[in-house]
Amino acid sequence: MSTTVETRTAEFRDYVKKITSYTQALNVLYWDKATQAPRNGMDARSEIIGTLAGEQFKLATSKEMEALLTELSEPSVLETLDEITRHSVLECKKEFDRNKKIPADRHQEYVVLTAKAETVWEEARANNDFSMFQPYLEKIVNFQLEFIEYWGHDGKNKYNTLLDMYEPGMTVDQLDPIFATLREKTVKLVKAIADSPNKPDTSFLTKNFPVADQEAFSRYILEKIGYDFKSGRMDRSAHPFCTTFNPGDVRITTRYAENDFNSALFSCIHEAGHAMYEQNINPELLFTPLCDGTSMGIHESQSRYWENMVGRSLPFWNHFFADLQKAFPTQFEGVSVEDLHRAVNAVTPSFIRTEADELTYNLHVMIRYEIEKGLINQTIQVADLPKIWNEKMKEYLGVEPPTDTLGVLQDVHWAGGMIGYFPTYSLGNVYAAQFVHVMENEITGYEELIANGDFAPIREWLKEKIHQYGKMKSPRELVQAITGEGTNATYLMNYLEKKYTDVYKL
């Protein structure tokens, strides 16, 4: 490496350290707003978040950044860089190019539009009035179509350009067969479950569970599975989330409902799954753009793995059932561990994605995937969405939302301009099942470990194979390296078929 390159590398590292410092600060400001800030401080808080985000955007798109990236991404230079810097340069360049290709005035208009659209969406949802939201969504789709032209596309499917933002390398060609498998097998399974006379009793899950007891039990479980409270904390917010300031400070939030045992506990385990990913990223990646999960799909594979494949498994409850009964003696009186396992795995087609069970969840996602693909390929018009939405709900889930509030208006994603994000929710499930298949082969006594509450070997495996890398490996590289194949929905369907055959005695 020449002295100039060395100097410029150091400057680049300093520069991205500065940019990632803003990310950390903004995450703190946002977390505090969602969990701690008093009502009267909200407006000023939103303003400073906007101001600092603007400052960060300026840094990330500056002439200085451009010069550094141009010099360091020169192939003859790039190959001399250490691995972390090389990946950082490539990651920043991707981001920089994406930002720079959009004319500044169009970007600004789009930011204003989506901010406004989120407010309008809230109102439209509250009033069950899709026509209010429709013109905004139309503009957002048109912006996305315009942006895709600036960004470029692979000539196969314009939607691929959007998918790549959330799941690098993911394409319609890969997703179509995945969802075809999910659709065919899930719809069949849902039907069989509906016809089964062996429905689990879920009534005890909606007894009274005092919030303080739920919180204590959730904390206990998270400590046991290995969420590190010395590197995080658990608070309350309107909607559960996980946020990372640095690997030593990864926080999760949840909300409690006194008459619902399910929601808080499993949402805590879910968020802890996200958090354990970030807590275990190689600390050397701190202050680089690589100190983050590699994709939304891989991130979701970690949360869904812990929530469903561990947390809703029979071995897990065989281990924790005594603790559960100690924590809630009256609520689970006369309930067996099998009863509990069946109850937390009950399947009920319903309207709202975020409340869906493990099985029908993918059908909710698929509906959104099909609609997004249609919108971006201009085979579906925004005006027809309520009708299309309800038809698809009827077809795949067998239920039809009585209102758009419970239908097409339920998610904020599109109002915020997030088109291409939804598929990552199902990809998370697909990846997780693929990883479990490998773990069963590679980790001795995998199921016994869960039954013994000995999660360390599992965490070690996840850390070694996935977590440590952050964004150093792409999702495709990870999946290929771990499983020896590409994305494959068969494992997920095998897992689900096995689970529900058992739960519903099919």
- As measured in angstroms, the least distance from the Cβ of 145 to a copy of itself is 34
Rule CB under 8 A: is residue 253 a binding residue for a copy of itself?
Answer: no
The reply to whether 333 belongs to the active site is no
Residue 28 binds: one of a copy of itself, Zn ion, none (C-beta under 5 to 8 A by kind): a copy of itself
Report the phi/psi class of residue 388: left, alpha or beta, with left for phi > 0 and alpha for psi in -120 to 50. alpha
245 binds, among Zn ion, a copy of itself, none (CB under 5 to 8 A by kind): a copy of itself
Q: Which of 25, 327, 399, 451 contacts a copy of itself by CB under 8 A? A: 25
Q: Which residues make Cβ contacts (< 8 Å) with residue 324, sequence separation at least 6? A: 217, 317, 332, 340
Quote the CA–CA distance of 97 and 359 in Å, as a whole number: 39
Point out the catalytic residue in the list 91, 271, 358, 372: 271
Q: Which residues contact 496 (CB under 8 A, 6 or more apart)?
A: 185, 186, 189, 358, 359
CA distances from 396 to 183, 186, 187, 257, 289 (A): 8, 9, 6, 29, 40
Question: Applying CB under 8 A, which part among 64-72, 181-189, 228-236, 370-378 lies near a copy of itself?
Answer: 228-236
CB of 17 to a copy of itself, least distance (A): 7
Residue 187 binds which entry of Zn ion, a copy of itself, none, CB below 5-8 Å type-dependent: none
User: Is there a contact between 419 and 376 (Cβ–Cβ < 8 Å)?
Assistant: yes
Q: Which of residues 273-302 bind a copy of itself (CB under 8 A)?
A: 286-287
Binding string, residues 274-313; x marks residues near Zn ion by CB under 5 A? -----------------------------x----------
Distant-in-sequence, close-in-space partners of 75: CB < 8 Å, separation ≥ 6: none
Where is 433: in which H helix or E strand?
Answer: helix 423-442
When asked if residue 105 is in the footprint of a copy of itself (CB under 8 A), the reply is: no
CB of 303 to Zn ion, least distance (A): 4
Sequence ranges of the binding site for Zn(2+): 270, 274, 300
Minimum separation from the CB atom of position 342 to Zn ion (A): 24
How far is it, in rounded angstroms, from Cα 339 to Cα 345? 10
- Out of 228, 284, 338, 477, the only residue in the binding site for a copy of itself (CB under 8 A) is 228
Quote the CA–CA distance of 156 and 369 in Å, as a whole number: 17
Contact call for residue 67 and a copy of itself (CB under 8 A): no
Residue 497: closest CA among 365, 299, 347, 337: 347
Six token digits for residue 267:
């949402």
Where on the chain is the footprint of a copy of itself (CB under 8 A)? 17-18, 21-22, 24-25, 28-29, 32, 36-45, 47-48, 51-52, 55, 228-233, 245-249, 286-287
Q: Which residues are catalytic?
A: 271
